[in-house]
Amino acid sequence: MNDNRRTALVKMLETCLCDRSFMIDGRRIGFRLLRREDMDLWIDFVNGCSQESLWQRFMVPFSATPERARRFCDIDPEKELAVIAEMKEGVRSRVIGIARLIKLSFDDKAEFAVIVSDPWQKKTLGRILLEMCIGLVKFWGVGSVFSETIMENRAAIKILKRCNFKVEERHGNVFAMSLRLRAPQDLDLDDLC
């Protein structure tokens, strides 16, 4: 891939995120793309999540390893995006939520997944991350976004429904939900940022 195209894309996406911040419980939460140099922050975040939250996100037993940190942080922004919600604690940053989009090369879709650290759940952060990702995925020009979640993850299902995702199919306790997007030619920059 052309490195200039990778940088221009990343810069455009970062610009859309950098001015966005929200106050939750009196704390300012900022948003940006996850970067390769965030591996230690990613490991700290995963280690701070409960096993239940990790199970609901990954649907398998999951733990932070250096290999997984590399896989989840060193990504190609033309194929995968990860938006982090972070807050400052003195001079340090702490990640409290991560939303990920993966562009499916064989289809006109992108997959969405999100995890929010336990103390920050049920405070609108998951919905905010989903709405940001819906805006960002339009840069790829895909026709729809889908997400798979388990029936026990009622919070994720509620967030997806609130953002107009519809249940496409169900296999046992796993739901596949999707959101159809407007055609790329109908978009303008104000829709994206």
> Cα dihedral angle (12, 165, 95, 91), rounded to 10 degrees?
50
pLDDT for the residue 192:
47
Q: Domain total for the chain?
A: 1
Query: Which residues touch 32 (CB under 8 Å, ≥6 apart)?
Result: 14, 17, 18, 83, 84, 86
Q: What is the mean pLDDT of residues 126-152?
A: 91
Quick check: 104 pLDDT over 50?
yes
The CATH code of the domain that includes 49 is: 3.40.630.30
Domain boundaries, position 72 = 3-192
Q: Which of 5-14, 66-75, 133-142, 171-180 has the lowest mean pLDDT?
A: 5-14
- pLDDT attached to residue 188: 52
The model's pTM is 0.89
pLDDT in the model for residue 13: 86
Question: What is the per-residue pLDDT across 3-44, written as a single tens digit (0 to 9) for each?
Answer: 666 778 888 888 888 878 899 999 999 999 999 999 999 999
- In this prediction, residues 131-160 reach a mean pLDDT of 91
Q: Residue 103 above 70 pLDDT?
A: yes
Helices 3-18 and 125-137 cross at an angle (nearest 10°) of 140
Instruction: Tell me the per-residue pLDDT of 49-100, one tens digit each, with 9 for 90 and over.
Output: 999 999 999 989 999 999 999 999 999 988 999 999 999 988 999 999 999 9
63 or 182: which carries more pLDDT confidence? 63
- pLDDT of 125 strictly over 60: yes
Q: What is the mean pLDDT of residues 130-154?
A: 90
DSSP 75-116: --TTTEEEEEEEEEETTEEEEEEEEEEEE-TTSSEEEEEEEE
